[in-house]
């Protein structure tokens, strides 16, 4: 599959959309989003679904899809931020006009359940996206200075070929050594496994696959990885980057045998996912993974 270019920088005064394609957010948190974005020097525009609650969803499917579609279609919008994750993005995949979204590509940021949209936009629409922090999840609730600085840097700086992707002071280690090059793809392991067997499944052929998750017991991690193994996803990848697996027993003893047996480079401990600090990753772009050196570099 063709690789995408890094999302273009967002400049001062940019109009930035906030959409809620997954779960709802508390009103007091939503109220802090616009002041937060203004403090970054941008013009915020919150779409209606950000203030809606439909059970475990932020608005019904029609509302959430309409907001997302409108944010991309509006030429005045320079970037699209997801309010938070939760659940619900997969419900939108067959409701979106991906051809139209592709014509209006712009920086798109989120993680966790947003993985479903990252896969769709990079594979169907052909533009790169940012796996990164979200206003309603951490940026306004309990801001971490390193996360905020990395998030702003990802959105506002140019990312030329050869640049190293920053990982802060994370303790990285090679589960399996070696180097590999390919598209950086992936995200939340549970979401990726849930899309297998659908037209929206992750294409891992020749790719560097990033995986993270939260609050999943080791046997559930095993179940997801077994799904990926049986579907041929693990064998198709060129290498792996393991992010945070938090709020549960350490799953690395479960993960390591799956990935180590493939004979491909595997780098663990990358600070992305449900963790602090969190460092953004550009998905859909070519990267060079050096597991021994503990680096990811734009190719």
Nearby residues of 144 by Cβ (< 8 Å), 6 or more positions away: 138, 276, 277, 278
Of 130, 156, 182, the domain-final residue:
156
How many other CB atoms are there within 10 angstroms of residue 34's CB atom?
18
Q: Do 142 and 90 share a structural domain? A: yes
Instruction: Give me the pLDDT at residue 239, please.
Output: 98
Residue 130 binned pLDDT confidence (cut-offs 50, 70, 90): very high
Same structural domain for residues 198 and 286?
yes
Domain that holds residue 217: 173-298
Question: What CATH number is attached to the domain comprising 86?
Answer: 3.40.50.10740
Classify residue 299 as exposed, middle or buried by CB count within 10 Å of its CB (0-12, 13-18, 19+): middle
Note whether 212 and 249 are same-domain residues. yes
Q: What is the pTM of this model?
A: 0.97
Give domain status of residue 2, yes or no. no
Please tell me whether residues 126 and 221 are part of one structural domain: no
Q: Does 281 map to a domain?
A: yes
Q: Quick one: 195 and 151 in the same domain?
A: no
Q: Give 14's pLDDT tier (boundaries 50, 70, 90).
A: very high
The edge-to-edge listing of strands for the beta sheet with 281-283 is: 43-46, 15-19, 79-82, 108-110, 129-131, 281-283
Give a yes or no: residue 37 inside a domain: yes
- The answer to whether residues 182 and 265 belong to one domain is yes
163 domain residue, yes or no: no
The reply to whether 25 and 149 lie within a common domain is: yes
Last residue of a domain, one of 156, 191, 212: 156
* 232 lies in the same domain as 152: no
Question: What's the structural domain count of the chain?
Answer: 2
Last residue of a domain, one of 156, 181, 213: 156
Catalytic amino acids? 112, 212, 274
Name, in order, each residue with C-beta under 8 angstroms of 263's C-beta and a sequence gap of 6 or more. 176
Report pLDDT digits (tens) over 176-210. 999 999 999 999 999 999 999 999 999 999 999 99
Average pLDDT, stretch 56-67? 98
69 lies in the same domain as 139: yes
Q: How do residues 72-122 score in pLDDT, each as one tens digit?
A: 999 999 999 999 999 999 999 999 999 999 999 999 999 999 999 999 999
């Amino acid at each position: 599959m063709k690789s995408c270019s890094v999302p273009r920088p967002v400049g001062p005064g940019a109009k930035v959309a906030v959409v809620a394609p997954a779960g709802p957010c508390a009103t007091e948190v939503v109220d802090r989003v616009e002041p937060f974005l203004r403090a970054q020097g941008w013009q915020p525009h919150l779409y209606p679904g950000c203030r809606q609650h439909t059970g475990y969803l932020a608005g019904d499917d029609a509302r959430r899809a309409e907001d997302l579609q409108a944010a991309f279609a509006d030429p005045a919008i320079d970037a699209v931020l997801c309010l938070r994750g939760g659940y619900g993005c997969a419900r939108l995949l067959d409701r979106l006009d991906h051809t139209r979204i592709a014509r209006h590509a712009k920086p798109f940021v989120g993680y966790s359940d947003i993985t479903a949209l990252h896969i769709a936009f990079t594979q169907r629409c052909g533009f790169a996206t940012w796996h990164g922090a979200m206003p309603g999840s951490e940026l306004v609730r309990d801001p971490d200075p390193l996360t905020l600085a990395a998030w702003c840097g990802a959105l506002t700086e140019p990312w030329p070929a050869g640049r190293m992707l920053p990982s802060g002071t994370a303790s990285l280690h090679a589960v399996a050594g070696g180097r590999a090059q390919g598209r950086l793809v992936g995200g939340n392991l549970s979401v990726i496994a849930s899309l297998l067997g659908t037209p929206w499944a992750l294409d891992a052929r020749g790719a560097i696959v990033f995986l993270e998750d939260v609050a999943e017991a080791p046997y559930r991690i095993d179940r997801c990885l077994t799904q990926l193994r049986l579907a041929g996803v693990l064998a198709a990848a060129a290498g792996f980057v393991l992010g945070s697996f938090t709020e549960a027993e350490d799953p690395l003893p479960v993960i390591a045998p799956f990935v180590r047996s493939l004979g491909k480079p595997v780098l663990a401990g990358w600070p992305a996912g449900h963790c602090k600090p969190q460092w953004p990753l550009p998905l859909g772009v070519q990267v060079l993974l050096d597991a021994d050196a503990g680096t990811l570099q734009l190719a």
